[in-house]
Each structure stands twice: as C-alpha cells, then as structure tokens.
Amino acid sequence: MKEKICLITGANSGIGFETAKELSQREFRVILLCRSAEKAKSAKEEILKSNPDAEIDLAIADLTSQKQVRKVAKEIAASYPKVDVLINNAGSWFSEFKLTEDGIERQWAINHLSPFLLTHLLLPLLLQAEDPRIINLSSDSHFHGKIHFDDVNLKKKYHGLRAYAQSKLANVLFTHEFEVRKTEKKLTINAVQPGLVKTDIGLKHTFSLHGFLWKIRRLCGKSPKKGAETSIYLASSDQVKGISGKYWDNCNIKSTSSSADSSVNAAKLWDLSMDMCGIKTYFPK
C-alpha cells in the first residue's frame, strides 16, 4: 500500500475527478467516494488510462443519507489503517425544495452535514496519519450566505441560491470552529474557494431558466483541472504543512466574510450540526 491515502467525495466528475487524477500521479492511493458505482468505475477506468500504475479504490454512498455516510465510514475504517487526506469535495445545487430521508433539505444535507458527519466519523483514521489534512470545498457564495438557525431547511422561503449560499457559509464556519476546538496540533483543516468552474453543478436538478442562466454564467469559468489546483496544493504540498483554519483561493489565503468570522455563529452551528447528525463531538468546548 502506498504511503499516503486520500479520500475524495464526489470524485467521479468535475473538480473531484481532476483532484483524484492528479493526486494519483503524485503517488497517493486515492479512494473515490461516489454516489453511483457505475460512475465510480468509469472514473477509475479513465484515470488508469492515463496512469496505469495509479492505485484507485472505490467507495459508494449517497451523501443525502446519514445512514449511508455511517455505513461507508465503517467500511473505510475496516479497510484502511489511516487516512492522510480527506477532501470533502462533493456539492450539489437544487432549484426545487425537497427533504432527504432524514428530513433535511438536500443542499444542507449534502453540502454541509455530510462532510461534517464524515469528518467526525473518520477522525480516528485521520489521527493515525503523520500529517492529517482535511479540505472542505466552499465557495465565495458564502459572502452572500446567512445561517437561518430558526429554519435551516428553508421551508418557509426556499430558494436554491439562498440554500446554496447558506451551505457554503456553513463550510467555512465548520472549518473555523473545528480549528478552534481541535486538540491535535498535527491535524489541519482548511476551506477552499475553487472559483467559477465549468462543471454541471448548476445544470442538474434545476428549473429550465436556472439551467440556462448557469450555461451563460459558466462561459466565463475556468476548467475543472484549473479549479482543482488549490485542493491539490493543500493535499500535497509541504509548504502548507501545519497551516490550518484558513480560507484559500488560487493557492493563497483569502479573507472570509464577516458572517464567516463570527465565533458565536460558528459555535452555534457546531452544536446544531451535532444535534442534526446525532453525534457527540471529539472536541468538547
């Protein structure tokens, strides 16, 4: 088994796929965590075409389901002695309001609660690594976000953009609060702004108007390969060893919104997320 193991969620396409492809070239053993077994196998085959020596493993889970997140975490724990890098890359956008099997709005479930839960479940494996790193994919959309603590599902006034911005703000607040609470100095966590990338996130599960507007908007976007550069840098570079709790853009640290700097909201979100996931923190405050 190669020395470093990296788990990437949403790794069958877009930024996640390009991250996996590049890290496999840098001699990481990469676990592609995907919702579809068929798409995961296709992504693995594509990577092996360009790098026959790549070590690529597959893990399957629908991140809208906390039951499946728990199941895949157990499977990973049973198969690997450690995880060196966890990249919470998976993200979704939905125009239409719908609840998951757990009674949670889908963007909140996939974009925030699934990485929050998976990170906690994999902490024992991360702590077995010499230089464990957690990378959360966020977005500058967080600048427009607000955590609706009285209605995080946005049942009263749902809008896809509002839900997305809320979830991306949650990614940054989670990163900041994890950094405040962590008890292991070697464990690092950072959030990434990949920029406007030419992916299909704005085309799937949207009203026709939203899909059309996304097609227009993404004409100015960068390629998924370019969008993956900061994730790859944070996962593999010795230059960032020990740097934690930051927000990154184009491989540089960037300031976050005033809402993301709220320690009160970060702690409040942590407690709410713990409750919604039904778990206890490794880092009590």
Which residue numbers are catalytic? 164
Q: Locate the DSSP E strands across the chain.
A: 4-9, 28-34, 55-60, 85-88, 133-137, 188-193, 247-249, 252-253
CA 177/CA 106 separation, integer angstroms: 23
User: Which residue, among 199, 197, 211, 196, has the nearest Cα to 95 in the 3D structure?
Assistant: 211
Are 190 and 135 within 8 A, CB to CB?
yes
Neighbour count for residue 53 (Cβ, 10 Å): 9
Nearest to 204 by CA among 105, 93, 63, 108: 93
